[in-house]
Amino acid sequence: MKSKNPEIMEEKNTVCVHAGTTFDSDFSGVNTPIYTSTASRYPNSAEQVWYPRYFNTPNQMAVAQKMARLENGEAALVFSSGMAAVSTTLLGLCRQGDHILFQDVIYGGTLHFVKHHLLSFGIDVDFFSDEKEVVTKIRPETKLIYIETPSNPLLGITNILAISRIAKEHGIISIIDSTFATPINQNPLDLNIDIVIHSGTKYLGGHSDLCCGVVVSSHSLIARITEMAKCLGGSLDANSCYLLERSLKTLAMRVKRHNENAQTIAEFLNRHPQIKKVYYPGLSGHPGHEIAKKQMPGGFGGMLAFELGKPGSVDMFLKKLKIVTPAVSLGGVESLICQPAQTSHASLPKVERMKLGITDELLRLSVGIEDVESLLSDLEQALLP
Ligand SMILES: *Cc1c(COP(=O)(O)O)cnc(C)c1O
């Protein structure tokens, strides 16, 4: 079992293909073999006993190493879901009496965990909308600042550098959920964020057939999170690790295409008379465009949202679509569309939803890697009155 020398690799596509690959020394195959064992003979050649719940099997290590390289981090942990990554990280770094500051717009599952569970463990929380507000809410017992950018569903952009600077000044650990951006478009560790989290279920897996999560950080923070991870046990099995490793080989290529398609579609929708509003950080009219240009050097991503002009027209529009599929997840090769008012934000009272800008006519589109011409004609025909 030998890993490739990762130092010589720089470019993203090369890192995607090669980093972390564990050579098959017995049969000379070019891919990482799938090690399904849950028991390893001792004494073995490795320094430590490996066991799936210890997050240290060859397949877990191979994919973790690839992700660490992609995010320019020292180490990574691979989880059985994005929520396992989020909850284990938060519980691993906080104790009763601690305080966490969360960005106000975060993934629904994370928000539910914070409101219904973290609080009951005696961990206090507060919410902030931007870097100006976060400063006013820091307390002596504040241990973490948590952001998510671009955010769901309106593609809000948080200034990563401003947040990490405040966190560093106050000796607070900063965490980002960077799922929408992927390591191809945005590398928050380079902007002094301490911990990057991904729901691997989305772009990293990329084919809507895998549930996983990843945390990337320094050796010391990963060691602290691993301590809790071994107790909660949200590790990923060898076969899924291999699927994730395989998916990551095409990540840079896929994301480039997602970016290009989303930009073209956002511009098309932006000039379409039936569309009231388009939310995409790649449009110059987007309030976060200038910051996004700086902190997302790889591209603006494959997610966008738009509002239909005519009230009550969503159902018919969705029914008319032939290629774009109504479904709630995102980040796969196929284009998926959903109506947040009926899905992710259905439990919010209408007044609250409207305050956030989530109207009944709002649609969130996860742009796939199909030919952009077919996506444009599909949207065009469905928009015909
Ligand atoms: C989906 C998602 C999660 C949760 O990931 P799971 O893999 O579903 O557990 C967390 N954050 C964001 C931004 C997501 O889109």
Confidence of residue 345 (pLDDT cuts 50, 70, 90): confident
Instruction: Give me the pLDDT at residue 1, please.
Output: 44
Helix (H) or strand (E) holding 253: helix 251-270
Cβ pair 78, 68 in contact under 8 A: no
Indicate if 230 belongs to the active site.
no
256 SS3 class: helix
Instruction: For tokens 């009550």, name the residue.
Output: 312
CA distance 88 to 232: 7
Share of the chain above pLDDT 90, in %: 90
Judge whether residue 292 has pLDDT over 90: yes
Banded model confidence at residue 42, pLDDT cuts 50, 70, 90: confident
| 156 in contact with ligand 1, CB cutoff 6 A | no
Q: Is 41 a catalytic residue?
A: no
Determine the length of the chain. Answer: 385
Global confidence as pTM: 0.96
Residue 237 a catalytic site member: no
Percent of the chain at pLDDT exceeding 70:
96
Kindly state the average pLDDT of the residues 316-326.
98
| Model confidence pLDDT, tens digit, residues 123-132 | 999 999 999 9
Nearest to 191 by CA among 211, 172, 170, 163: 163
- In ligand 1, the atom with minimum distance to the C-alpha of 213 is 7
Q: Which of 202, 257, 353, 364 is catalytic?
A: 202
Which helix (H) or strand (E) segment is 305 a member of? Answer: strand 303-308
Catalytic one among 4, 24, 53, 293? 53
pLDDT score of 149: 98
Two structure tokens written together for 35: 């090690």
